Structure 1
Amino acid sequence: MKIERLSDQVCSMARAVAVVGDPWTLMILRELFLGSRRFETIREQTGISPQLLSRRMKDLVAEEIVQRVTYSERPVRHEFRLTAKGADLWPVLITLKAWGDRHLSSPQDNYLLELTHRDCGHLANPHLACPACHALVSPMDMDATMSPAMIEDRQARGAANSQTLARTRRTKAG
Structure 2
Amino acid sequence: MAIYHYENHMVKRDAGFEARRKASRGRHALWSEARPAVFSVCTNARSMCYYEINSFGGRKIVARVAVENPDTVCPVARSLDIVGDKWTVLVLRELYMGVSRFEELQIQTEATPQMLAGRLKALEANGMIERHPYNEKPLRYEYRLTRKGWAFYPVIYALRAWGEGWCKDESEGVAVRFIHRECGADVGLANVCPNCGAPVARDDLQPVVSSHYAKEREERRAAFKDRQQG
TM range (shorter): 0.5 to 0.7
CA RMSD of aligned residues (A): 2.3
Pairing 1:22-171 to 2, within 5 Å after superposition: 22-124=85-187, 125-127=189-191
2:47 equivalent in structure 1: 4
Instruction: Give the TM-score, by structure 2 length.
Output: 0.52
After TM superposition, give the deviation of residue 117 of structure 1 in Å: 2.3
Write the deviation string for residues 15-45 of structure 1: whole angstroms up to 9, x where unpaired: 0011101111000000000111001100000
Higher helix fraction: Structure 1 or Structure 2? 1
Q: List gaps (5 residues or longer) in structure 2.
A: 1-43, 49-65, 193-230
Amino acid at match of 1:67: E
Counterparts of 1:120 and 1:76 in 2: how far apart (Å)? 43
- The separation in 2 between residues aligned to 1:42 and 1:68, in whole angstroms, is 14
What is the rounded CA distance, in whole Å, between the counterparts of 2:141 and 2:181 in structure 1? 29
Q: Aligned-pair distance for 1:4? A: 2.7
Q: 2:119 is aligned with what amino acid?
A: R
CA distance in 2 between partners of 1:88 and 1:41 (Å): 23
Q: Deviations over 1:44-90 (max 9, x none)?
A: 00110100110110000011101111111222111001111100011
Within 2, Cα distance between the matches of 1:74 and 1:120? 46
- Is the 1:70–1:77 contact (alpha carbons within 8 Å) kept by the matching residues of 2? yes
* Normalised TM-score (structure 1): 0.68
1:19 aligned to 2:86? no
Q: Which residue of 1 aligns with 2:9?
A: none
- 1:101 maps to a residue whose letter is E
Would the aligned equivalents of 1:65 and 1:85 in 2 still touch at CA under 8 Å? yes
Q: Matches of 1:28 and 1:36 in 2, distance apart? A: 9
SS at match of 1:114: strand
List runs of 5+ in structure 1 lacking aligned partners.
129-174
Aligned residues: 129
